[in-house]
Structure 1
Amino acid sequence: MGEAEPKDGSSTSFQQTLEGVRAQVGTTVADAQAQLDGALQTVAGFARQGLGLIGGGVREAYNAAADVAEAGTAYANHGLDQLKAVEDATVAEIRRGLDVVHANPYVSYPLLATGGMLLLPGTRRLLYRATLGRLRSVDNILKGSEGKVEGLRVKMGDFSSEAKKLQERLAVAEDEYVRGRQKLKATRQELQRLASVVAKSERQAAGVLEDLRSIKKADKATQLRAEAASQVSSLRAQRTALQSYIYRIASKDI
């Protein structure tokens, strides 16, 4: 019994130590939770401030875009008004000119004819030679003529080479054309010969068909009559096709 007291004292001391540790841990956890809550509140504040700044920027951008769109619409409307005014003025001037022409035909028609003649390049060239062309010096005329002659010499060389190539192509094309006409002519003669033979066979088949039509009660005559009618139809179609080919060649003056 004397040894139980120290044991109880040790147990009490251990419990006190354990409770102290628990209290310290609880205090530490509470402090950590408080710090975490403070940090979360700080972050939330920063987030709210950031969202506020973003929202303000978006509103400012939207307002600026709306102002630009409104200004663009105003400029567009102003441009359309100016275009309409110019169009109305142009139409009015055209109408006024037509009224003047209609009211003064003896003056307007000669002026229109003169203006039309001035639009022609030959008329302008003659007018230039008769007026400003006389003011040119001899040296300027010689220099201009020399340059033009040199340019024409170069062009004439190009023209000659190109004409030679085209002449060779013309000779080849003519040979092919002659050979083609000869082939078409021979083909036309063959088609005419074949069409004549087909027409003769068609007449023979038609004669056989007429002979068979006079026989009424024979079964074999009925079968032969059907076959002869089919042959007549086929030969007629062949003759029509051959005649169309012949006409196609004849339309080319061959």
Structure 2
Amino acid sequence: MASSDTGRTPAQGAEAASASSWPLRKLQSFTPGLWSQYKAYEDVFVERAKGPRRFLYRNTLGRFKTEKDLLNDVEQSMIEYKTSIESLRKDSKYTLDKVVIGESDLQRGRTDLRSTGKQIQSVISSIYKAESTAAGLMDRLRIIPTRQSLELRAEVASMASDLKNQRHVLEERVNRISEYGVRV
């Protein structure tokens, strides 16, 4: 009896070896896809079966635990709950302290805005008085027909224009303060 390799060349022997491992290679290339599909189905099953899982655990593995083990587990979970409650209390106290500080800062800011607005309004009234004084001065300078009075009138007019621009800027600031809901 002759062996099956007797009439083959070395190249034909390699082909036979590769042909015999073909299903194994195909299975190896197919395995990662199977594993990911299995994991996906397992995840879906576990998500949907939370209640039965707990039931099975308590009625099977839970029965193997002694009362002392169960009591230790409960005490451990109680300690964890207490620590989490304490940390929540500390966090809430810290947050409440920050709220109180923020409220006082807000109140202080409002009073500062109100006082600043009043100061700005007093400056506006002073500017308005200066504008009316400048207008009266310009009227007096119009009566005097000299070159010097003409130069002074131009200078007073530019000052009055600057005062008017400053008054408008300050009025805009007062409007911004009142937009914040602070009475001025």
1:205 is aligned to 2:134? yes
TM-score norm. by structure 1 comes to 0.42
CA distance in 1, matches of 2:62, 2:113: 62
Q: Which protein is bigger by CA-based radius of gyration? A: 1
- 1 or 2, which has the higher helix percentage? 1
Higher alpha-carbon deviation: 129-138 or 185-194: 129-138
CA distance in 2, matches of 1:242, 1:165: 40
CA distance in 1, matches of 2:94, 2:163: 51
Q: Which has the higher contact order (CA 8 A, sep 6+)?
A: 2
Per-residue CA deviation, residues 46-99 of structure 1 (Å, 9 max, x unaligned), is xxxxxxxxxxxxxxxxxxxxxxxxxxxxxxxxxxxxxxxxxxxxxxxxxxxxxx
Match of 2:102 among 135, 151, 173: 173
* 5+ long unaligned stretches in structure 1: 1-117, 119-123
CA distance in 2, matches of 1:145, 1:218: 104
TM-score norm. by structure 2 comes to 0.55
Match of 2:53 among 132, 146, 151: 132
* AA in 1 matched with 2:49: Y
Q: What do you get for the CA RMSD once the two structures are aligned?
A: 3.4
Per-residue CA deviation, residues 124-183 of structure 1 (Å, 9 max, x unaligned), is 4xx333443332216849777665443222111011122222322322332232122112
* AA in 2 matched with 1:136: Y
Q: Percent identity?
A: 25
2:147 paired residue number = 219
Give aligned pairs, total: 131
SS of aligned partner of 1:253: coil
Whether contact under 8 Å (2:124, 2:170) holds in the other structure is: yes
* 5+ long unaligned stretches in structure 2: 1-43, 64-69
Whether contact under 8 Å (2:117, 2:177) holds in the other structure is: yes
1:237 is aligned to 2:165? yes
2:179 paired residue number = 251
Whether contact under 8 Å (1:212, 1:221) holds in the other structure is: no
CA distance in 2, matches of 1:224, 1:247: 34
